[in-house]
Structure 1
Amino acid sequence: MLFPQALDAHQTAFAVGETLAHVNRLVAEGRLSRDEGPDGLCRLRPATAAQWPVLRCAAGRA
């Protein structure tokens, strides 16, 4: 269980939106690969470490 109590509809929608935003960022950074299967469904898989781009941290952050 991720949360100690049940989420209401608003909290669930927010959590799904946040998750999709993180997934999209990982795809944009090349850390996840998105492939469409023959059934039309989108599948995600981790990119190999050799494929990851070198990312620089924002100023003042480690």
Structure 2
Amino acid sequence: MPYVNIKVTDEGVTKEQKAQLIKGVSDLLQDVLGKDPNTTYVVIDEIALENWGTGGLQTDEYRKLHSS
């Protein structure tokens, strides 16, 4: 019973993209480990940019400093 937790920033990931992630992860676990997709759990958490940090900064601030 695999459990996969995907965390992404909340920047407009569509329902269709989430469906692709869930199917893709389930298919990968089936292909690589022989796991049954019917017992594979995939959870997608969307995290606000101010709750995600990189390099000691909130993601939006990090991006401003490292863009271009």
Bin of the TM-score, shorter chain as denominator length: 0.3 to 0.5
More strand per residue: 1 or 2? 2
Higher relative contact order (CA 8 A, sep 6+): 2
